[in-house]
């Protein structure tokens, strides 16, 4: 069962003297994190975002009730979460956290490749699946067509179609 609350970013510091936070975004882009009016410190602790803007690859954020440097400093290191019900994903996209650990099966060779260990999002062209094989070896497969064929969320399997030399 997918987690209801997804990690969205980490509070890495303060900014100014009015309690603003510096947040490292774990979303597709820092701008995505700025779109939320409600985030969570944990599933029982909602926080209202009064203001958020991107500044030098971090999000400067002001939370309601956090009005001093001391209050902001007390939140340093905390992870902000979002409620998956607050996000509308297109049908062809999934949350990265939902597919970590999924098995990967190559349709070309009809063999198991391994399990998704990470999804690398820093490639400008497309994301890359980092897959750990049974032997511990890491392989990388583009998370895009024509390699990505299907993600079966219920079975926990990602079907790919490799090309000669991709997985060797």
**Quick one: 71 and 129 in the same domain?**
no
- Site of tokens 């032997």: 135
138 & 68 share domain: no
Domain limits for position 72: 5-86
Q: Could you tell me the two tokens for 104?
A: 């990967």
Same domain flag for 69 and 40: yes
Residue 77 confidence (pLDDT) above 80:
yes
Q: pLDDT by residue (tens digit) across 9-43?
A: 999 999 999 999 999 998 878 898 999 999 999 88
**CA 37-92-105 angle, 5° bins:** 125
Distance of CA 3 to the CA centre of its chain: 13
Final residue before a domain boundary, out of 51, 86, 121: 86
Residues 76, 114, single domain; the answer is no
More confidently predicted of 150 and 1: 150
CA distances from 69 to 19, 30, 79, 146 (A): 5, 23, 18, 50
Shared domain check, 74 and 21: yes
Residues 63 and 28 in one domain: yes
Partners of 98 in the β-ladder: none
Smallest CA-to-CA distance from 56 within 13, 98, 87, 8 is with 13
Residues 73 and 146 in one domain: no
**Same domain? 16 vs 67:** yes
pTM, rounded to two decimals: 0.74
Q: For residue 107, name the pLDDT band (cuts at 50, 70, 90).
A: very high
More confident residue, 89 or 144: 144
Question: Do 116 and 142 reside in the same domain of the chain?
Answer: yes
pLDDT grade for 140, boundaries at 50, 70 and 90 = very high
Report the CATH number that the domain containing residue 21 is assigned in CATH. Answer: 2.40.30.60
Contact 8, 81 (CB under 8 A): yes
Q: Are residues 112 and 48 in the same domain?
A: no
Number of structural domains the chain divides into? 2
């Amino acid at each position: 069962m997918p987690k209801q609350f997804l990690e969205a970013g980490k509070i890495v510091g303060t900014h100014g003297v009015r309690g603003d936070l510096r947040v490292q975004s774990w979303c597709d882009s820092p701008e995505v994190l700025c779109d939320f009016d409600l985030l969570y410190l944990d599933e029982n602790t909602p926080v209202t975002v009064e203001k958020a803007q991107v500044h030098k690859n971090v999000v400067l954020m002001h939370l309601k009730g956090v009005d001093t440097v001391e209050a902001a400093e007390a939140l340093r290191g905390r992870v902000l979460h979002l409620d998956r019900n607050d996000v509308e994903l297109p049908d062809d996209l999934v949350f990265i956290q939902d597919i970590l650990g999924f098995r990967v099966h190559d349709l070309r060779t009809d063999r198991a490749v391994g399990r998704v260990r990470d999804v690398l999002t820093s490639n400008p062209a497309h994301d890359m699946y980092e897959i750990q094989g049974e032997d511990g070896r890491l392989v990388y497969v583009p998370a895009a067509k024509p390699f990505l064929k299907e993600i079966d969320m219920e079975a926990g399997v990602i079907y790919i179609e490799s090309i000669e030399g991709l997985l060797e």
